[in-house]
């Protein structure tokens, strides 16, 4: 049974333990990695949101971040690289009552999976997408990703990256997301609150979390360890809720604009589908049983 309260069961060391598959511990993440911090925030959000945990499913792609689904004691799906969003879309259409959370890395969601991201946002598919952005393909050795800032050394850019990058929050807004926020792993309270907020928000919601990869990204770029990354996030971040996302570009060591940038309402995919079918077919339109929740 997945727990629904903050009571610490006998023998548990930490309140988040009941939300984790403890039989799969120890996890694979390196010391100082930020992914675990995001998971901690997510479990707090699950508790605080009071959502019915039997109706929450979590879907990850492949990567260090992709391991999150496997460690979460929810209905979890660890899918193929770049395909978390189409997998989650199928689940949502088959069972609209489900709250489907996609949890994956920047490479998974915006490189191999970039096409799926923009179309799910355009359709306003009712998914909550959490991207742990460590600005590299960590699991495979630290290659450049579509978010690796200029001048950063990576396995595929030994003399420094030079490709223009995606500004994820601007991309999400332009593609049609209903909710867009960015935090770092230093902003645990705000991140947890954003995660809680999207669990109650309809439509395509996107949260970017900047997170250190001390083993590959920070080490190669002589940026110190996990603690140094927290100091950088603390010193360089500026909270600007409502800031135009076009002004939120990231760089190697410059200012990090964080906050909630977009919170808007528009009909989601299923509402549009139902409205169109009802208009076209009238009473002849009958929803299939599997997808009928209302």
Binding site for ligand SF4 (CB under 6 A): 29-30, 33, 35, 64, 134, 138-139, 213-216
Query: Closest Cα partner for 139 from 33, 274, 58, 222?
Result: 33
Binding mask 136-155 toward ligand TPP (x if CB under 6 A, else -) reads xxxxx----x----------
Q: Which of residues 145-204 bind ligand TPP (CB under 6 A)?
A: 145
Q: Which of residues 78-137 bind ligand TPP (CB under 6 A)?
A: 81, 104-108, 132, 134, 136-137
Considering CB distances under 5 to 8 angstroms, the limit depending on partner class, which of ligand TPP, ligand SF4, none binds residue 72?
none
Closest approach of ligand TPP to the CB of residue 79, in Å: 11
Q: Does 208 sit near ligand TPP (CB under 6 A)?
A: no
Q: Does 18 sit near ligand TPP (CB under 6 A)?
A: no
C-alpha distances in Å from residue 269, one per residue of 100, 123, 203, 281: 14, 5, 8, 18
Starting at the edge strand found earlier in the chain, the sheet holding 205-210 runs: 75-78, 56-60, 99-105, 127-133, 205-210, 179-184, 256-263, 237-239
Stretch that binds ligand TPP, among 11-19, 22-30, 63-71, 88-96 (CB under 6 A): 63-71
**Residue placing its CB nearer to ligand TPP in the complex, 68 or 74:** 68
Residues that bind ligand TPP (CB under 6 A): 62-65, 81, 104-108, 132, 134, 136-140, 145
């Amino acid at each position: 049974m997945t727990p629904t309260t903050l009571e610490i069961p006998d023998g548990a060391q930490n309140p988040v333990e009941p939300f984790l598959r403890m039989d799969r511990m120890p996890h694979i993440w390196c010391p100082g990695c930020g992914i675990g911090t995001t998971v901690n925030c997510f479990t707090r959000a699950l508790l605080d949101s009071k959502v019915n945990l039997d109706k929450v499913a979590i879907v990850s792609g492949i990567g260090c971040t992709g391991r999150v689904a496997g460690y979460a004691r929810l209905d979890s799906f660890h899918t193929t690289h770049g395909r978390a969003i189409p997998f989650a879309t199928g689940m949502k259409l088959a069972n609209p009552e489900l709250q489907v959370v996609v949890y994956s890395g920047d490479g998974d969601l915006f490189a191999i999976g970039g096409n799926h991201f923009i179309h799910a946002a355009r359709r306003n598919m009712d998914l909550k997408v959490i991207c742990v952005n460590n600005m590299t393909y960590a699991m495979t050795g630290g290659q450049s990703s579509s978010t690796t800032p200029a001048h950063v050394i990576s396995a595929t850019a030994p003399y420094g990256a030079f490709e223009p990058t995606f500004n994820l929050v601007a991309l999400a807004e332009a593609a049609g997301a209903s909710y867009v926020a960015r935090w770092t792993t230093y902003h645990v309270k705000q991140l947890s609150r954003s995660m809680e907020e999207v669990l109650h928000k309809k439509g395509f919601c996107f949260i970017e979390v900047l997170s250190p990869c001390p083993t590959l990204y920070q080490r190669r770029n002589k940026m110190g360890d996990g603690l140094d990354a927290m100091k950088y996030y603390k010193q360089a971040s500026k909270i600007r809720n409502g800031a135009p996302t076009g002004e939120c570009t990231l760089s190697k060591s410059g200012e990090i604009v964080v906050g909630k940038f977009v919170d808007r309402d528009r009909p989601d995919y299923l509402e549009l589908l139902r409205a169109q079918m009802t208009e076209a077919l009238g009473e002849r339109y009958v929803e299939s049983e599997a997808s009928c929740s209302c």
